[in-house]
Chain A
């Protein structure tokens, strides 16, 4: 009987012992207004539905408010946050893996509604003539079912018309009732920019650029700047699996009046850029092989030779005199780093969500 008792005690002891173990301190979730600052979206891990959004005020005097959608709405976004698009009053959070757009108040991030139909692998969104247009890959294995979904932003409902486009639709920007869509190629590759005229019955024109066009930006003069990443041809070994060889990567400038490529700055063979930003006459690009952000003037015809070392990043933006980057990280929290462009000094850093990828100014 004694032995029975002691075994039983051992068991009870194990229960007591376990009850005393403390958890790691939590990052605070604060709610309030999320204007006059940065919005950082984090993809989360693929398949885990744990994408998140962070906020940092413009003064950069506080750590990021992480998981703020969850803090405000007491629910998770529930998917991989691909991108966010903004109207004057609302923000449209595009969840890629769950075919959903969560519509929130732009400044409080309170949920307004969810759009859950008519989307299939949604990527990016832009607005023109009172409507939202969302690029959709369709089924990953089908290269012929890519399209733009059309959303009536007054009711936040999907319209029945779809605009079919070529394979691999990615970014979308709007200017003068025209939509510009880059075709990065989804799981394969493509090399065109589609121009959709929403005031002319959605007529589509195409502009050919280098392989895998991704970011689209307008310069001050209204030209379209396109980053073509080049198509990866071979990868290196573990653990980085860096792209070893690829087709030509370039930064192209397009005159949108006649849809012609007016200038194309190409990278050396097997060198490529994967991030692009524009601010006040300067073009900023990130090269993963050198883990460096370079900048050139929009009038330049040559690439830069030195830049700012950032480490491996997964997203960037430039505003005023600051470079904002988020570190590439899918196993721990990503880091938002703000660097002063003239002194090249880090002036701010804060943890943000896992897999942070996009930085917006709100």
Chain B
């Protein structure tokens, strides 16, 4: 398995090295850049105010259709995030740079949607395919995104465009284990109005064979992922109205329903009987108005989410957790000149959460933010910001951030940022009966990052060295002389490493190649014990290599994750082996007229039939395939 990985990796390195060193001789044709736009959605074109000095990866529709089954899969093959799921389709959590799942803030159009109970987001209970863009920002961002934005943020974005257009997109895939993933998107602009409507339906029997030969039935046959069925539905409706170029009103709304069984994995999948339902509904009204050099934006949001957990899938009774969240955000920007901008936000947020175990609790906060962006010269941009939050439950530290970007040449930018960030304990951590701990302190962190970004027409490389020092990390640990787990502040952890994104492309006659890669090297350690933190891989890499010839595209995807420990003992018995998974696929354009385009695709996942795990004894599927139709009109 390792051999295969090495070969694939070396081949790709050779391939891209050739690309890098050969590209300067190439004459860049207009056709290339057009094609690039079509194939590559990644890469910020415009410098965005919020992301100065940071590393960002954007994921769009072209990636979604390659990994359509769930958000976990999509991010695994296209982002620097380490995801851990409890078997395919099970609960899934995300870690940036070796931080914990609750240090990853998930945003929906700018608003944090981490559950108030757990402080986390389950990446298998979100429909990614109806979002237009998924923006993955590495590094702390508590000034903007508040509690939990310590390791990084994942933002699901809906885009509304006013210019006259009518775009429809239908995608449908079907494959192994009776798995089907489908979405339909409409995006219309009339000049005055902008409208988006999207829907998604996903289903799978998910009854794949556990291909690990070490575990078998008494009769010698392999076990199956019993009790793993999932289905989910998502809807998205967004509307924008443009009174004038300077006065725009937007409304975003989305709903989701998911119904899953939780597999028990090895050694006894038949023991599984759990079921889980998720509901969520999110609404946002946004008004953006510019006058003279001011731009003001008012966001008013109402979000609700609920889960229902059934210990026995056939039973009526369930346990639940639900929350209602109101969020009002007023932002005022003032542009002195192209060189100096200031911005200030006032946020009011009220979150009301309850479970069958916790009586309704309310947490409110009011936060004020200020930010200055200054360009002392054409090539240097500096941004500093500060946030003060008054939280009804905790004394939240003042958080600050400072960032700079210096253009060295037209192609090379040096980036740096330093920030402080925090996470406030969640309702479960505080109030869960018997185990909740009212003495918890918020986690706080300081992080620094320095990196460079090199961009040319057919090459983009971004590399960052990062360092995160987190104080008062909250962990659930066994206590009370029993195997009963309670949260407590355990001390300091340090995360350091390097994160790299690379995109290379090359055209030779009618042959077009595109290569993207994310690579992260992380040392995440508990400072007291000097041991590695669990589920924080030292090395994490994924790449996508596409080859297009006329109307056909072939692609290879690979994910490599080095060994992870499952606790802080750091011995092999308590670890998951390194894994390398390769998928291949092909798309054929069968019809094209004007902007209508019909593609038919096929994909084989885990082509080498590797045995791999993201959680102990919860195996992932062996080789499997799907076919898809992708129609844009």
Cβ–Cβ contact A114 & B218, under 8 A: yes
Cβ–Cβ contact A100 & B267, under 8 A: yes
In the assembled complex, the Cα of A43 lies from the Cα of B484 at a distance in Å of 12
Flag whether B163 is at the interface (Cβ < 8 A): no
Cβ–Cβ contact A100 & B271, under 8 A: yes
Question: Given A46-B485, A243-B480, are A237 and B266 neighbors across the interface (CB < 8 Å)?
Answer: no
Flag whether B293 is at the interface (Cβ < 8 A): no
Flag whether A78 is at the interface (Cβ < 8 A): yes
A1-45 contact mask (Cβ, 8 Å, vs B): 1 or 0? 101110110110011011001011011000000000000000101
Cβ–Cβ contact B479 & A239, under 8 A: yes
Cβ–Cβ contact A48 & B478, under 8 A: no
B256-267 contact mask (Cβ, 8 Å, vs A): 1 or 0? 000000001111
Cβ–Cβ contact A8 & B20, under 8 A: yes
Question: Given A18-B521, A98-B264, A117-B270, are A241 and B486 neighbors across the interface (CB < 8 Å)?
Answer: yes
Flag whether A70 is at the interface (Cβ < 8 A): yes
Cβ–Cβ contact A10 & B463, under 8 A: yes
**Additional 12 contacts, C-beta under 8 A, given A46-B485, A141-B317, A235-B480:** A3-B411, A5-B21, A14-B521, A17-B521, A26-B571, A48-B566, A49-B617, A74-B214, A75-B214, A238-B437, A238-B439, A238-B479
Flag whether B616 is at the interface (Cβ < 8 A): yes
B20-36 contact mask (Cβ, 8 Å, vs A): 1 or 0? 11001000000000000
**Can you spell out 15 A-B residue pairs with CB atoms less than 8 angstroms apart?**
A7-B452, A11-B519, A14-B500, A23-B563, A50-B574, A74-B214, A75-B215, A75-B267, A78-B617, A116-B268, A141-B317, A237-B439, A238-B479, A288-B481, A355-B483
Cβ–Cβ contact A330 & B483, under 8 A: yes
Contact residue among B311, B483, B539 (Cβ-Cβ distance under 8 Å from A46): B483
Question: Given A7-B454, A99-B271, A141-B311, are A241 and B479 neighbors across the interface (CB < 8 Å)?
Answer: yes
Flag whether A67 is at the interface (Cβ < 8 A): yes
Flag whether A167 is at the interface (Cβ < 8 A): no
User: Which A residues lie at the B interface, using CB under 8 A?
Assistant: 1, 3-5, 7-8, 10-11, 14-15, 17-18, 21, 23-24, 26-27, 43, 45-46, 48-50, 52, 66-67, 70, 74-80, 95, 98-100, 102, 113-114, 116-117, 139-141, 235, 237-243, 274, 288, 312, 314, 328, 330-333, 354-355
Tell me the smallest distance from the CB of A341 to a CB of chain B, in Å: 23
Contact residue among A77, A274, A331 (Cβ-Cβ distance under 8 Å from B567): A331
Flag whether B17 is at the interface (Cβ < 8 A): yes
Tell me the smallest distance from the CB of A76 to a CB of chain B, in Å: 7
B residues near A43, Cβ cutoff 8 Å: 483
**B568 and chain A: residue at smallest CB distance:** A331
Cβ–Cβ contact A78 & B267, under 8 A: yes
B residues near A239, Cβ cutoff 8 Å: 479, 488
Flag whether B312 is at the interface (Cβ < 8 A): yes
Q: Is the interface of A mostly helix, strand, loop or mixed?
A: loop
In the assembled complex, the Cα of A27 lies from the Cα of B566 at a distance in Å of 16
Flag whether B498 is at the interface (Cβ < 8 A): yes
**A21 and chain B: residue at smallest CB distance:** B538
Cβ–Cβ contact B454 & A98, under 8 A: no
A residues near B434, Cβ cutoff 8 Å: 235
Cβ–Cβ contact B539 & A18, under 8 A: yes
Cβ–Cβ contact A24 & B571, under 8 A: yes
User: Which B residues lie at the A interface, using CB under 8 A?
Assistant: 17, 20-21, 24, 214-215, 218, 264-268, 270-271, 311-312, 317, 408-409, 411-412, 434, 437, 439, 452, 454, 459, 461, 463, 477-481, 483, 485-486, 488, 498, 500, 502, 519, 521, 538-539, 563, 566-574, 616-617
B residues near A8, Cβ cutoff 8 Å: 17, 20, 461
**B271 and chain A: residue at smallest CB distance:** A99
Cβ–Cβ contact A354 & B409, under 8 A: no
Question: Given A75-B214, A99-B268, are A240 and B479 neighbors across the interface (CB < 8 Å)?
Answer: yes
Tell me the smallest distance from the CB of B415 to a CB of chain A, in Å: 13
B residues near A15, Cβ cutoff 8 Å: 519, 521
Cβ–Cβ contact B437 & A48, under 8 A: no
Contact residue among B215, B459, B477, B481 (Cβ-Cβ distance under 8 Å from A331): B477
Cβ–Cβ contact B488 & A70, under 8 A: no
Cβ–Cβ contact A45 & B478, under 8 A: yes
In the assembled complex, the Cα of A73 lies from the Cα of B116 at a distance in Å of 43
Counting chain B CB atoms within 10 Å of each CB, the highest count among A77, A113, A237, A241 belongs to A241
Cβ–Cβ contact A116 & B271, under 8 A: yes
In the assembled complex, the Cα of A11 lies from the Cα of B480 at a distance in Å of 47
B residues near A49, Cβ cutoff 8 Å: 265-266, 616-617
In the assembled complex, the Cα of A8 lies from the Cα of B412 at a distance in Å of 13
Tell me the smallest distance from the CB of B120 to a CB of chain A, in Å: 15
In the assembled complex, the Cα of A5 lies from the Cα of B24 at a distance in Å of 12
In the assembled complex, the Cα of A116 lies from the Cα of B572 at a distance in Å of 27
B residues near A116, Cβ cutoff 8 Å: 267-268, 270-271
Cβ–Cβ contact A14 & B566, under 8 A: no
Cβ–Cβ contact A354 & B215, under 8 A: no
Cβ–Cβ contact A114 & B267, under 8 A: yes
In the assembled complex, the Cα of A279 lies from the Cα of B617 at a distance in Å of 39
Tell me the smallest distance from the CB of A73 to a CB of chain B, in Å: 8
**A239 and chain B: residue at smallest CB distance:** B488
